[in-house]
Amino acid sequence: MTGLLLLGMAQLIATDYQEPPEVLPPKVAPIHLPEMKRTVERVDPIRKPQQLPPPVKPQPVERTLEPAQVPIIVGPPVVTQQTIDPGIVSSDPLPFYKPAPRYPSRALAQGIEGYVVVEFTITRSGSVRDPRVVGGYDSAGAPTEVFNRSALNAVERFKYRPTLVDGNPVEKQGVRNRITFKLAE
């Protein structure tokens, strides 16, 4: 084995090994940058305020005070025999679970903010039924539909304490809610 290696090395030394021809890199045209000019921010001059209203004249304050006699009566609390009938209690619906809507990726990519007004029915069990979009608007007040689906998905998960009439839960229709979409700062 050693003999073969020595023979192979001798053969390599005996051959006239030449360096490969040098390949020059391609020529690159010179790059000319345009002349850079400084940009100056235009600042509008500060406007003088309109004519100020006349200063308010101070009112004189009377600094003398006469002590008054206030009768103080301390006694035990009075207990009455009145009871409240729980069947007469009435109340409006009260939200107790309102998850935040998911910000639509299309609106996030475009930097759009806005709000959606949604109308729905609160059932006797406190869940939401039949949500529908009344209107969706961007921050400039222009109508948009980019937030509608996300707002409806959030409203479907809302939970309320239902409306009580004479102590019994009832459905409440036409409940409106404004859902705002604002980018984090």
Does 18 reside within a domain?
no
How far is residue 58 CA from its own chain's centroid? 46
* Model confidence at 109: pLDDT above 60: yes
- How remote is the C-alpha of 19 from its chain's centroid? 68
The β-bridge partners of 169 are: 164
Q: What pTM does this model have?
A: 0.51
Residue 171 in domain: yes
Alpha-carbon span 122 to 172, nearest angstrom: 5
Nearest to 119 by CA among 140, 106, 136, 102: 136
Tell me the per-residue pLDDT of 46-71, one tens digit each, with 9 for 90 and over: 777 677 677 778 777 666 656 666 66
Task: Confirm whether 110 is domain-assigned.
Answer: yes
Domain count, the chain: 1
Determine the Cα–Cα distance for residues 164 and 83; give it in Å rounded to an integer.
19
With respect to residue 116, please indicate whether it lies within any of the assigned structural domains: yes
- Among the residue ranges 20-29, 30-39, 79-88, 123-132, the one predicted with the least confidence is 79-88
Higher pLDDT pick, 158 / 79: 158
pLDDT at site 70: 62
The answer to whether residues 144 and 137 touch, using CB atoms and an 8 Å cutoff, is: yes
Considering the domain boundaries, does residue 76 fall inside one? no
pLDDT of 136 = 92
**Which CATH number characterizes residue 128's domain?**
3.30.2420.10
Mean pLDDT across the chain, nearest whole number?
A: 82
pLDDT in tens, 17-46: 677 778 888 888 888 877 877 777 777 777
- 121: which DSSP letter? E
Locate tokens 């206030």: which residue? 70
Residue 57 belongs to some domain of the structure: no
In a domain, 129, yes or no: yes
pLDDT at 63: 67
Domain range enclosing 135:
95-181
Q: Classify residue 154: in a domain, yes or no.
A: yes
